[in-house]
Structure 1
Amino acid sequence: MKIEEELDAEDRLISEWEKRRYIPRPGEPQLPPQLSDMAEKTTEDVMKELNRLPFFMTELDETDGEGGENETLEALKSLAYDGEPDEIATNFKNQGNDCYKSKNYKAAINYYTKGIEVDCGVDTITSALYLNRAACQLELKNFRSCIEDCKKVLLIDPKNIKACFRSGRAFFSVQRYEEAKQILEYGLTFDPENKQVKDLYQQIVNKEKAIEEARLKKEREEQKEKMRLDILKNSIKLRHFSILKSSRPAEMLEDAKIRLENETDYESQLIFPAMILYPTTDEFDYIAEISELATPLEILELVLNRPKEWFEDPKHKNFSIKKLECYMETESGGLVKVGKKLSINNALMNDKPKAPLFDNSLRLYVVPKVEAPEWISKWNKDIALSKRQA
């Protein structure tokens, strides 16, 4: 909106120029040579000429219109360095302050830097320039530059409380808490009631306290988790359970976990997922959690609790509890039949043949009795072993 308003104003100025342009009538005097030259130029050329005059400038033009130097502008620039060094430095400081008030921090830094480069030799001015530049650096999150400027202030004025405060904020922002506290503590030695410094110091103390509490909490949680895993590991070891990994586990088993019902009691029952496989129909069921004390019979009662229509499918005609047999894969790659009333933990604790858990879960093959001999005859140990993680 502001740009559009400026363009409209410029258009109105050009229009007004055209209306008031001097064109001598018969018998009227001609314009002086300087003005006559302007009269022969287009409105656009006149506006360009005006823009080269510092008073009328709307954008910086450092040329004379023909590729040379804009001498008028250069003369004005040189005025910035006209006067005694302390006057020049003060002038740059004041210009920087104006930019700071309008939140033009980069321009303010430029002016303060020029003031510092004057090297006026007046400590109060030099100190103020560094201090004000530090304030800009803080606003721009140039924290290390802020700290450096504050150090220079304190070398000149050791009791400058603002330098202590600003460097404390900068140290705090880069998480150098101890250094932040040290500089604030130093400031409080000569200005003990400074509210800003005291509040910032307390903020840092609170932050450190919160960090320490979080560290201790994490440490306690890690210790608790380590204890839980140690108890779980020992409980599995005491039961002589074996656990193998597949080279390509089923997606639902990628994060499968074994847990104790009571994680602090290794004698409480183990809980784990179960994959119930039906190899003759190429189907499976997944149970998120079963107890080690469960039996294949209980598992079958659970998975066969299906609608009547499911059993009417010809491929499921022999899927009744009495007509099904259960098998588990052994460590050597073979198969072992599991009694339906035998608890899972008993099957897993047997050493010969040894049936392991796979991917932290039970793997139970369920096959109709009439189809079992043919399925077993086609079982290939080498293929079974090749599907395991090396």
Structure 2
Amino acid sequence: MTDDGIRRTKTGIPLPGPDRPSRPDWALDETNLHKSMDAVPLFMNSLPEDADENPLIQALQDLAYDGTPEEVAENFKNQGNDCFKQGKKFYKDALLFYTNGLEVFCKDDKLNETLYVNRAACNLHFGNYRMVLTDCAHALKLNQKNVKALFRSAKALYALEMYKEAIDCCEHALNADPDNQAVKDEQAKIQAEFDRKEKIRLEKELREQKIREKKMMIEKALEKRKIRTAATPGFKPDHPHEIQLDQDLDQLTIPTFFLYPEHNESDLIQAFNEQDVIGEQLAEIFYEPAPWDPEHKYRPETVQTYFETEDNGGNIGLMKAGLNVKFLTVLQHSKHVLRDGIARFIVVPKEDSQWKKDWLAKYGK
């Protein structure tokens, strides 16, 4: 305790007490340091609304632009470099400094070249690849052998999957600096990715070509047999099976539904050969009673098989198909339409019933 009644440290600094605040009014708030520093003009991240009326802020702004354009641009470049060296958290500040340097429009081409290349490095980090290419293009206009501009252009082009252009940039960079290992590594990476994507592309093209060729052969086979076809707009099959052509035997197999409307059931034959007869297929289907036919009423000899017909006016009819009728005969019928690449047969009991009468009535029979 000193003579003035205030407790002090050994060096004479007053200690907090009941009549003395623990911190002076001018001290920064240590619990919210960033906010406190933002209130100090020298450390402000953004200008307040009354910046135009604040002489201290105006003086600091004027100080930043004090000197020749070249000196001002050099100063902004150095500040940008300092921020960039501090790490990714400060890249945004570095980008702003480089932009300020370019907006001075100094006449030092070498300095402007550096500012463009450095700003490109920031934009590369933020994924602004088009801006990277723009900045590097400006730098290359000033110096077409700027290896950093070519290198960063290659990185941006790689990110945009413009592999040929990226490889070209690497080649130009290596022409200027043949021993640059970073460029060599980048070129190798880009080339490997380009080769991988090119392989995938060629394999896809080959698959698509084979699909087109197969489709054309099937279309020709259907046309040769005079089988009428139609496609329903927007139709998507709920199975993966398609019409197939055995080129050696010159025979078609077609996915075919056997429908049982009385029980709202069906069977899908994945590949019904055009040369098979309907009765043989029914014999395979009804070899054992279906779960929905415990009384075994559905057998080749106790059912009738129909297929729908369609005339040129779109009118739907019904026609019987005997057990000994070949599948191809049905397909070639003048009123049969192979719609959406799927054949359909309707199977009902031979015996008369009220359900059958009502069902036939729908077709005008």
Q: 1:294 aligns with which of 259, 262, 276?
A: 276
TM-score normalized with structure 2 length: 0.72
For the aligned residue pairs, the C-alpha RMSD in angstroms reads 4.2
Give yes or no for the alignment of 1:20 onto 2:16.
yes
Write the deviation string for residues 208-255 of structure 1: whole angstroms up to 9, x where unpaired: 5445444443333232222211211122222232335579989747x6
Q: 2:38 aligns with which of 31, 38, 60?
A: 60
Match of 1:304 in 2: 286
Q: 8 Å contact 2:318–2:363 — kept in the other structure?
A: no
Q: 1:91 aligns with which of 75, 91, 98?
A: 75
Give yes or no for the alignment of 1:165 onto 2:151.
yes
Task: Select the structure of larger CA radius of gyration.
Answer: 1
Give yes or no for the alignment of 1:367 onto 2:348.
yes
- Listed as ranges, the matches of 1:190-209 within 5 Å are 190-209=176-195
5+ residue gaps, structure 2, are 1-12, 42-47
Give yes or no for the alignment of 1:232 onto 2:218.
yes
Three-state SS of the structure 1 residue aligned to 2:37 is coil
- Listed as ranges, the matches of 1:115-154 within 5 Å are 115-119=101-105, 121-154=107-140
Write the deviation string for residues 11-45 of structure 1: whole angstroms up to 9, x where unpaired: xxxxxx9962584xxxxxxxxxxxxxxx7xx779x
Match of 1:284 in 2: 266
Task: Give the Å deviation of 1:164.
Answer: 2.3
Write the deviation string for residues 147-206 of structure 1: whole angstroms up to 9, x where unpaired: 333233334444432222222323343344554444444333332232233343444444
- Listed as ranges, the matches of 1:238-387 within 5 Å are 238-244=224-230, 252=238, 257-260=242-245, 262=246, 264-265=247-248, 267-306=249-288, 311-313=293-295, 318-332=297-311, 333-351=316-334, 354-371=335-352, 375=356, 379-380=360-361
Task: Give the Å deviation of 1:108.
Answer: 0.2
Q: Quick one: structure 1 residues 297 and 162, their matched pair in 2 at CA, closer, same or farther if it must change by over 3 Å?
A: same
Q: Quick one: structure 1 residues 334 and 186, their matched pair in 2 at CA, closer, same or farther if it must change by over 3 Å?
A: closer
Query: Partners of 2:120 and 2:137 in 1: how far apart?
Result: 10
Three-state SS of the structure 1 residue aligned to 2:276 is coil
Worse overlay, 303-312 or 330-339: 303-312
Task: Give the Å deviation of 1:73.
Answer: 5.5
Q: 8 Å contact 2:167–2:187 — kept in the other structure?
A: yes
Give the length in aligned residue pairs.
336
Task: Give the Å deviation of 1:109.
Answer: 1.0
Q: 8 Å contact 1:273–1:286 — kept in the other structure?
A: yes
Q: 8 Å contact 1:256–1:361 — kept in the other structure?
A: no
Query: Partners of 1:277 and 1:342 in 2: how far apart?
Result: 18
5+ residue gaps, structure 1, are 1-16, 24-38, 385-390
Query: Partners of 1:73 and 1:127 in 2: how far apart?
Result: 31
Q: 8 Å contact 1:330–1:355 — kept in the other structure?
A: yes
Q: 8 Å contact 2:242–2:254 — kept in the other structure?
A: yes
Task: Give the Å deviation of 1:87.
Answer: 5.0
Q: 8 Å contact 1:256–1:359 — kept in the other structure?
A: no
Q: Quick one: structure 1 residues 57 and 334, their matched pair in 2 at CA, closer, same or farther if it must change by over 3 Å?
A: closer
Q: Quick one: structure 1 residues 330 and 149, their matched pair in 2 at CA, closer, same or farther if it must change by over 3 Å?
A: closer
Query: Partners of 2:171 and 2:184 in 1: how far apart?
Result: 9
Query: Partners of 2:234 and 2:68 in 1: how far apart?
Result: 82
Q: Quick one: structure 1 residues 148 and 331, their matched pair in 2 at CA, closer, same or farther if it must change by over 3 Å?
A: closer
Q: Which residue identity does 1:193 align to in structure 2? A: D
Q: Which residue identity does 1:371 align to in structure 2? A: D
Three-state SS of the structure 2 residue aligned to 1:276 is strand
Query: Partners of 1:377 and 1:310 in 2: how far apart?
Result: 21
Greater fraction helix: 1
Worse overlay, 300-309 or 131-140: 300-309
Q: 8 Å contact 1:326–1:366 — kept in the other structure?
A: yes
Deviating runs (4+, > 6 A) in structure 1? 246-251, 381-384
Q: Percent identity?
A: 33
Query: Partners of 1:139 and 1:81 in 2: how far apart?
Result: 28
Q: Quick one: structure 1 residues 250 and 145, their matched pair in 2 at CA, closer, same or farther if it must change by over 3 Å?
A: closer
